[in-house]
Chain A
Amino acid sequence: MTLWIRGGHLIDPANNIDTVTDLQIHDGKITAIGHCDDESAASIDVQGLIVCPGLVDLSVSLRKQHKASVSTETRAAAAGGITSMCCLPDTSPIIDSSSAATLVQDLARQSGFCNVWPIGALTQGLAGAQLSEMGTLKEAGCIGMSNLRAPFENTRVLLRCLEYASSYDVTVFFNAVEHSLADDGCVHEGPYATRLGLKGIPESAETVALTRDLLLIEQTGVRAHFGQLSCARSVDLIANAQKRGLPVTADACIHHLLGTEADIKNFNSLNHIQPPLRTENDRQALQRGLQEGIISVICSHHQPHSKAAKMAPFAATEPGISGLDTLLPQALKLVTNNLLTLPQLIERLTIGAARAANLNTGSLGIGDIADICIFDANESWQVSAETLHSNGHNTPLMGRTLKGRVRHTLLAGRQVFPSRA
């Protein structure tokens, strides 16, 4: 069947398109771009709305691999305009076997709201000791491997992981953290940590690990992506590595691009995340890195939690923010604040992420799969238990009014939001 998306403002950074036009979809693919003369053709009228590739989110924790959680969180993604997500390996069970990798993809396909690309565990059980079966995991659909923030037994294990991964052209996703320095800290080591009496995580916990990782990447030639940079010096280190020609990309999560350590005031555990929110200087450096393309991706760093996980004194709460529902409106603040143009923002939410993870999506050229997000950049909505689609209501934005609302999400040409149940 053929469907037209009529009258929208198409922004497709992958193809340098930024204009009001119509878009034809046939058999799940883009088949024409330009004015549609046929008034009787099946169509969605999207005048005044932005039409862009479906968002690509490189960092989503699904937590549990059972039907309920895959289904709710992928539905939340669709409601947030996200059509592709990378599922981190810290699910239960951990994605360190082909069956676990297959399970999450099967469940996602059954639910049918969002493409789910698993990232496999770099070491067995994320224990940091034994190589995972990377070859098999890749065959089973894993688009890369990561040890997340879990420690390696020693640096030799890490080196072996990178050597092995490089043999099969596997992208390694890093979260730079030196555990002996992060220790059991829970917030940025700064004046807020000092006053609140909370144990700090120094910037060096990230930069020492990042420096080591970059040297090992250079030694092994493995393709690498760094997730959720949190400090200014990390941006410099990545820029320097890119300048030297290392195959390295990086993302920042929206929380670090907008928030600072000041957000932990009053022991607000909803802002307890890893890595921690850092200083105003760090935030500005991340924003500059994003403007200059050193950071080419914005992710949600979605970590849904039950209410109980946050019902404790700060240090005893689980880190993480539920972010799928609010990624787009939060990211639009970067445009409102004149840090990025709308096409630049969309690039970092779509094709930038797709390129970093080597995914065949994020573009609306002729013949491309019709994964599409259609949103109203000016419509406001209030974050509440009723408006959130994720199972996790752990967001510091609860009760706030955000600007920018997804109106339609199409997955391979099929509308998945609003759902037509």
Chain B
Amino acid sequence: MEPVAESPQLQLTEQGQLRHFLTVEGLSKTLLTEILDTADSFISMEQQSVKKVPLLRGKTVVNLFFEASTRTRTTFELAAKRLSADVINLDISTSATSKGETLLDTLKNLEAMSSDMFVVRHANSGAAHFIAEQVTPNIAIINAGDGRHAHPTQAMLDMLAIRRHKGDFENLSVAIVGDILHSRVARSQIHALKILGVPDIRIITPNTLRPFDIESMGVTVYNRMIEGIAGADVVITLRLQNERMQSALLPSQHEFYSLYGLSADKLKYAKPDAIVMHPGPINRGVEIDSDIADGSQSVILNQVSYGVAVRMAVMSMAMSGQTTQTNGDTEATP
């Protein structure tokens, strides 16, 4: 199936460089690898005493969060500061902007302050796409999560974690467990795994939390945990929101944990050297057992530190793409 969101023209420059980062879907393996390589170089920089580079010096980054988030926003803020940008954090309650006109008004106001980059989180799928279409062309938009659609920087930090612990993607079996239906993380992970060449991507979920025709994205669906996890190299558990118990999607936390919670008795069916991942924040005893989350196979804390590096990579690449595009535009139209 061809990409359904964000035609490459919107997030890439004519030369194929990143200028917005809205979704992983439709991007090339080369570009994803470039993001991972760039992030790797920033990780080695973290070992140094001076952790700053001047790539975004003089640029203004606005963290535009229409949906509450502490961790993601903090890592974006840290990433921007390490790139020497000026950072403004705006937490805008969704209630005040439930109408599009207000969202647009907010954007126009921020544009007028000569911002260079918006990092956007919004409860509506397609919000980052909408903003990228509406703002002036020289502002880079980084999607920090839109509805159920995409969370591309999270997916890329997950890919970085997989590459650093497993070496490559060519022969892996990756299982994603839990609430796929509501998960923008899972959708972005599936696209990224597919593009990077993972041959075996599995979804483990009850049918109430399984998106319609998710198989068309190139995954195999399992309802039973032990069948799905058997022989996996990577097990990704997703956060389960409490409200899922209230809309006739699941009977109880207890049953979910007993069927899908990642515990030692289930993890033993995966490969002995399998790694365990979770995008956070963790619900211990709901989707994952504490012993597993803190255990030797868990790379959950590494994921957090890779998050800063990946966001630095994406922000610097998008800003560089914007600059190239803007200069190109200027030359084209004297």
Report chain B residues within 8 Å CB of A311.
Answer: 100-101, 104, 134
B212 A195 Cβ-Cβ under 8 A = no
Closest to B211 in A: A194
- The reply to whether the CB of A312 lies closer than 8 angstroms to some CB of chain B is yes
Closest to B101 in A: A308
Interface residues on A, range: 20 to 34
Which listed residue (A190, A193, A266, A310) contacts B129, Cβ 8 A?
Answer: A266
B100 A313 Cβ-Cβ under 8 A = yes
- A: residues with CB less than 8 A from B are 189-200, 202, 262, 264-267, 308, 310-317
B213 A196 Cβ-Cβ under 8 A = no
- The reply to whether the CB of B149 lies closer than 8 angstroms to some CB of chain A is yes
CB proximity of B223 to chain A, nearest CB, Å: 17
Report chain A residues within 8 Å CB of B99.
Answer: 312, 316
The 8 closest A-B pairs by CB, nearest first: A312-B100, A197-B149, A197-B148, A313-B124, A267-B126, A197-B125, A194-B211, A313-B127
A313 B216 Cβ-Cβ under 8 A = no
Which listed residue (B7, B25, B126, B216) contacts A198, Cβ 8 A?
Answer: B126
A267 B1 Cβ-Cβ under 8 A = no
A313 B126 Cβ-Cβ under 8 A = yes
Contacts A191-B216, A194-B217 known; A313 to B130 CB distance under 8 Å? yes
CB-CB contacts below 8 Å: B3-20 with A: 4-7, 10
CB proximity of B303 to chain A, nearest CB, Å: 22
Which listed residue (B125, B211, B212) contacts A313, Cβ 8 A?
Answer: B125
CA distance A24 to B187 in the complex (A): 65
Closest to A267 in B: B126
Could you list 12 A-B pairs, sorted by A, with CB under 8 Å? A191-B1, A191-B217, A195-B5, A198-B125, A264-B4, A266-B10, A267-B129, A308-B101, A312-B101, A313-B100, A314-B124, A314-B125
CB proximity of B29 to chain A, nearest CB, Å: 19
A312 B130 Cβ-Cβ under 8 A = yes
CB proximity of A197 to chain B, nearest CB, Å: 3
A194 B149 Cβ-Cβ under 8 A = no
- The reply to whether the CB of B202 lies closer than 8 angstroms to some CB of chain A is no
Contacts A265-B5, A313-B125, A315-B125 known; A194 to B101 CB distance under 8 Å? no
CB proximity of B86 to chain A, nearest CB, Å: 27
A316 B100 Cβ-Cβ under 8 A = yes
CB proximity of A201 to chain B, nearest CB, Å: 11
CB proximity of B33 to chain A, nearest CB, Å: 23
Report chain A residues within 8 Å CB of B25.
Answer: 195
CA distance A267 to B22 in the complex (A): 12
**B115-126 toward A: CB 8 Å interface, digit per residue (1/0)?**
000000010111
Report chain B residues within 8 Å CB of A317.
Answer: 100
Report chain A residues within 8 Å CB of B1.
Answer: 191, 195
CA distance A408 to B25 in the complex (A): 49
A196 B100 Cβ-Cβ under 8 A = no
- The reply to whether the CB of B156 lies closer than 8 angstroms to some CB of chain A is no
Report chain A residues within 8 Å CB of B98.
Answer: 316
Report chain A residues within 8 Å CB of B214.
Answer: 194
CA distance A312 to B146 in the complex (A): 13
CB proximity of B22 to chain A, nearest CB, Å: 10
Report chain B residues within 8 Å CB of A264.
Answer: 4
Closest to B181 in A: A194
CA distance A277 to B211 in the complex (A): 18
- The reply to whether the CB of B103 lies closer than 8 angstroms to some CB of chain A is yes
Which listed residue (A189, A265, A312) contacts B212, Cβ 8 A?
Answer: A189
Closest to A198 in B: B125
B4 A192 Cβ-Cβ under 8 A = yes
CA distance A323 to B27 in the complex (A): 36
A312 B103 Cβ-Cβ under 8 A = yes
Report chain B residues within 8 Å CB of A315.
Answer: 124-126, 147
With A196-B149, A266-B7, A266-B10 already in contact, 19 other A-B pairs whose C-beta atoms are closer than 8 Å: A190-B212, A191-B217, A192-B4, A193-B211, A193-B212, A195-B5, A197-B149, A197-B184, A198-B147, A198-B148, A265-B5, A266-B4, A266-B5, A312-B103, A312-B104, A312-B130, A313-B103, A313-B147, A316-B124
CA distance A308 to B5 in the complex (A): 22
CA distance A189 to B147 in the complex (A): 16
- The reply to whether the CB of B150 lies closer than 8 angstroms to some CB of chain A is yes
Contacts A197-B184, A197-B187 known; A190 to B100 CB distance under 8 Å? no
CA distance A265 to B1 in the complex (A): 12
Report chain B residues within 8 Å CB of A265.
Answer: 4-5
Closest to A195 in B: B4
